[in-house]
Amino acid sequence: MIFYTEKILSNINNDSVKVVAATKYFNSDEMRELYKTGIHHFGENRIEILLEKQENLSDLDITWHLIGTLQTKKAKKIINSIDYLHSLDTIKLANEIQKRRVDALNCFIQVNISSEESKHGLNPDEVIDFIKEIRNFDKINIIGLMGMAELTSDEEIISNEFQKLNDLQLLIKKELNIDLLDLSIGMSNDYLIALKHNATYLRLGSVLFKKEVQ
């Protein structure tokens, strides 16, 4: 496996932007090699796989992100084993985190910026009221917004969807006087566009590596 960490980081050229490796593409041994290249933030979609890899890599100083949907009934299995949650979008889940988390969890509110029914997340016009409901939860530290753009080659569509989160940041500041400075946007196919829209966390997978031909 050939890693492109140096190339990716040179494209970013901003110390405030964190690369979260979407590690569904990697087994534990490959993650260990990726860690050596300088990426220490790892993101998993599936709870069971995250916990298994966490145990296998317990000797490394890894920051763990859950980047997939978290069902309320499964929250107790994982909620004290992660550093970041990228998919907070229901009051039911917020209540479960508040009930079970030992200390404050860094959370991104997931917003459905592409308006696709297949994607999770709040509609942009629901976010203000959602924040009002949970802003006093001491086990939830709302640090920003997360969104996934439509899977398309049309850069204008992607740009417009990312811009919705930039606009929403300003609205939250105006209405609630809260600075949500972090944006979890950008994946392997659109991270360069996300950087133009103030991304601070990039969830990258296939762009980080190439499988070597045996």
CATH code assigned at 145: 3.20.20.10
Residue 4 maps to a domain: no
Domain membership of residue 30 (yes or no) is no
Confirm whether 174 is domain-assigned. yes
Residue 57 lies in a domain: no
34: in domain = no
Q: Which domain holds residue 113?
A: 72-208
- 172 located within any domain: yes
Query: Tell me: the pLDDT tens digits for 22-77?
Result: 999 899 999 999 999 999 999 999 999 999 999 999 999 999 999 999 999 999 99
Question: What per-residue confidence (pLDDT) applies to 118?
Answer: 72
Residue tagged 């860094």 (tokens)? 106
Q: Which long-range contacts (CB under 8 A, 24 or more apart) does 59-65 make?
A: 60/32, 60/35, 62/35, 65/20, 65/41, 65/203
Token pair, residue 176, equals 């609630």
Largest CA distance in the chain: 57
Low-confidence ranges of the chain (pLDDT < 70): 211-214
The pLDDT of residue 13 = 83
144 falls within a domain: yes
Model pLDDT, residue 119: 82
Q: Which residues contact 27 (CB under 8 A, 6 or more apart)?
A: none
Residue 168 domain-assigned?
yes
Interval 40-51: pLDDT, tens = 999 999 999 999
Closest alpha carbon to 45 in 70, 18, 63, 20: 70
Domain count, the chain: 1
